[in-house]
Amino acid sequence: MLTIYTAFLYFLQPIIWVRLWLRGRNSAAYRQRWGERYGFCAGKVKAQGILLHAVSVGETFTAIPLIRELNRRYPKLPIVITTMTPTGSDLAVSSLGKMISHVYLPYDLPGVMNRFLDVIRPKLVIVMETELWPNMITLLYTRHIPLIIANARLSEHSAKMYKIFGTFTKSLFQRITLVAAQSKEDSERFINLGVKQSHIVVTGSLKFDVTITPELTKKAIQLRSNWLLNKRSVWIAASTHHGEEQIILKAHSKLLKRFPDLLLILAPRHPERFSSIHCLTQQHHLRFISRSNGQTPSDSTQVVIGDTMGELMLLYAISDLAFVGGSLVKHGGHNPLEPAAHTIPILMGPHTFNFKEICKLLQRSNALITVSDAESLSNEIAALLTNTNYRLNSGLYAHNVLRKNKGALKHLLKLINPYLSQEDD
């Protein structure tokens, strides 16, 4: 089965090249650094340290507190971060700087992955969530390099898909050194697919361990002052997808009739869509500026388009309430705990299956407001803006959910320590 999988992946390579080139029309980064995707990374990384893979922005953001703590505990060990997307790359580099080195994870071809591992020679590999590559897992196993799946989750749908491949899946999953699962349900699905019960621990979700650094707080205070936001209310629509901006801008236009000083920060999920959002905002006859231009919003500015990378937590910090995108369309939603860390109200659409358990916790605590269209979005925001107690309590409830569920990071670090304990000396 592994041979068939590898042959199919070789067959896909020309299609992958075309796809990368086409995506490069909107984001030039997709046409760059192709050598890294085939394991050519000599001179770009330091060997014999920790290799951590986070596929894209969401996983990278979740991994940042873990990476910082690993760097603090094991300062002599180099840390290499791999992602698959340019946005994940940008976030890793902008957030962690010289603390890490970054390259793209190469495609899961045996020769390519061998070349990559020959350069990296990691003492430990950590993969965030459920990014499982058969050749990579097999090669790590044969090289006796421990592999930890951190913050592991496995949906019922994904489990059924893995189950189709029967003994192949079982043999593959048995080669994983340790799975740190988000929930009991996730752990049971991994065990049913072949992970040994002794090799799996429920740690909870690392997403609850998001923290606000003093540096971020200082930046937020400065930005609020520069933008003169003490005189006006701000709401943010974050990580939005195609089909959502139209609804958001319609809602904002309606809100402006009642709250003429209201400012919207519109932060699309994907950089390649920034230019189309500019056009869409113009079509709604709204006065806007782009964050990337470094402009300061004037009293007449109605929308700031958040077209920068690595600044989402800063933009949450200067907002009074937040809509979290990917939820008005069937994408599954993005992380609602990021605005919860800032103690601000959270609004989402009905499609939150990517964060099903987290959203359930928030709903039980009256910390998540569900909307379905422009009218319900504008009505709920108006209610929050006119009722100070409602707004403050909603944000406080969200922050309390975050605070009560922290601890996964501490638990995970204890599990990691035996594989790196010799580095304490």
CATH number at residue 158: 3.40.50.11720
Number of folded domains in the chain? 2
Residue 209 is assigned to a structural domain of this protein:
no
In a domain, 210, yes or no: no
Q: Is 61 contained in some domain?
A: yes
pLDDT class for 156, splitting at 50, 70, 90?
Answer: confident
Residue 107 inside a domain? The answer is yes
CA distance 24 to 31: 5
Question: Is the pLDDT assigned to residue 95 strictly greater than 60?
Answer: yes
Same domain, 197 and 260: no
- In this structure, the answer to whether residues 119 and 250 fall within a common structural domain is no
Query: What backbone phi and psi angles, to 5 degrees, belong to 239?
Result: 55, 45
Same domain, 258 and 241: yes
Whether 50 and 117 share a structural domain: yes
54 & 121 share domain: yes
In the prediction, which pLDDT does 381 show?
Answer: 98
Asked whether residue 311 is domain-assigned, the answer is yes
Contacts of residues 38-43 at CB distance under 8 Å and 24 or more positions apart, as own/partner, are: 38/106, 38/107, 38/109, 38/112, 38/115, 39/106, 39/111, 39/112, 39/113, 39/114, 39/115, 39/116, 39/119, 40/115, 41/103, 41/116, 41/119, 41/120, 42/119
Q: Does residue 231 sit in the same domain as residue 376? A: yes
Residues 157 and 49 in one domain: yes
Is 198 found in the same domain as 244?
A: no
Q: List C-alpha distances in Å: 174 to 69, 170, 177, 178, 199.
A: 28, 6, 8, 10, 9
Q: Is residue 99 part of a domain?
A: yes
Q: What is residue 25's predicted lDDT score, i.e. its pLDDT?
A: 84
Residue 1: per-residue pLDDT? 87
Q: How many CB atoms lie within 10 A of CB 89?
A: 24
Q: 421 pLDDT exceeds 80?
A: no
Domain-embedded: residue 161: yes
Together in a domain, 236 and 296? yes
Pairing label, strands 50-53, 147-152: unpaired
Q: Are residues 155 and 261 in the same domain?
A: no
Structure tokens at 320: 């009074």
- The verdict on 105 and 197 lying in the same domain is yes
Q: What token pair was written down for 366? A: 């009256």
User: pTM for the complete prediction?
Assistant: 0.85
Annotation says 188 is catalytic: no
Q: Range of 354's domain? A: 215-404
Active-site residue (options: 59, 129, 245, 380)? 59
User: Which residues, 6+ apart, have CB-to-CB distance to 125 below 8 Å?
Assistant: 50, 51, 52, 53, 140, 145, 146, 147, 148
What pLDDT does residue 422 have?
Answer: 65
Q: Residue 271: give its domain's CATH number.
A: 3.40.50.2000
Q: pLDDT tens-digit profile of 367-413?
A: 999 999 999 999 999 999 999 999 999 999 999 999 999 999 999 99
**Where is mean pLDDT largest: 89-98, 150-159, 370-379, 415-424?**
370-379
Whether 29 maps to a domain, the answer reads yes
If asked whether residues 393 and 413 sit together in one domain, one would say no
